[in-house]
Amino acid sequence: AESLDTAWAVRWIGAAADAVAEHRTELVALDRAIGDGDHGENLDRGFTAAREKLGDEFTGPGAVLKMVAMTLMSKVGGAAGPLYGTAFLRAATSLGDGDASAEALAAALAAARDGVVSRGKAEVGDATMVDAWTPAVDAAEQAASNGASPAEVLAAAADAAQTGAESTDALQARKGRASYLGERSVGHRDPGAVSTVLLLRAAADAAGA
Ligand code: ADP
Ligand code: MG
Ligand code: MG
């Protein structure tokens, strides 16, 4: 498809809720190693609540993402709730009212990443979800400018996010709870970077990538 519609966004959030539930214990284990062990529970609670609101009427993909933002902000808490809440809200605003073209998706991902950075002040290399988001945005923008379809843009973003999440293994955490461990955070994958991959992969899958 040349652009992605409300039904795509609804499929995405349903798939995201499935993925987070399926990987809940993995996310908990990652966060237990370098944080407080709640990342999987937090996200599962948030996306389960968002899924329950998918039956409502939405006027476009941006409206779905705005609902998700509000739900995550009220249900998730911790660091990830406000960060993902901001990401979804900025993406919703970037998309506006219409369906999402490849270029619009790349711009929405960039807006989401910029929201995470403005809220959390992490840079690439600090071993946070920004290490997944930033290569995802770069790959999405490159794919869109090369004429990729919306599904291809999202698949490129998910693939790059996966590589970015793997890069956190070797990094010392400099933001969030994991930074309290200092050098002992090296050798662990950041849970928020892993959940970012799950969310982007769900978006690509929902687009038929
Ligand atoms: P909490 O640490 O409050 O328990 P979660 O466990 O739900 O929150 O989320 C932890 C994740 O949040 C980390 O793995 C990291 O990816 C992300 N994170 C934490 N602080 C920041 C920050 N300042 N900037 C970007 N991401 C962050
Ligand atoms: Mg935690
Ligand atoms: Mg916590």
CATH classification of the domain holding 21: 1.25.40.340
Instruction: Please report, as a single letter, which amino acid is at residue 166.
Output: E
Instruction: Please report, as a single letter, which amino acid is at residue 66.
Output: K
Output the residue whose Cα is nearest ligand 1's atom 4: 78
- The pTM for the full model equals 0.98
- Provide the number of structural domains found in the chain: 1
| Region 57-62 average pLDDT | 95
Report pLDDT for 30.
98
Q: Check pocket membership of 128 for ligand 1, CB cut-off 6 A.
A: yes
Report pLDDT for 209.
85
The residue range of the domain holding 95 is 3-206
Provide the sign of the torsion angle of the four alpha carbons 196, 146, 107, 58, taken in this order.
negative
Confidence of residue 56 (pLDDT cuts 50, 70, 90): confident
* Cα–Cα dist 48/65, whole Å: 14
Confidence of residue 55 (pLDDT cuts 50, 70, 90): confident
For a pocket test of ligand 1, which of 175, 180, 194 has the largest count of ligand atoms closer than 8 A to its C-beta? 175
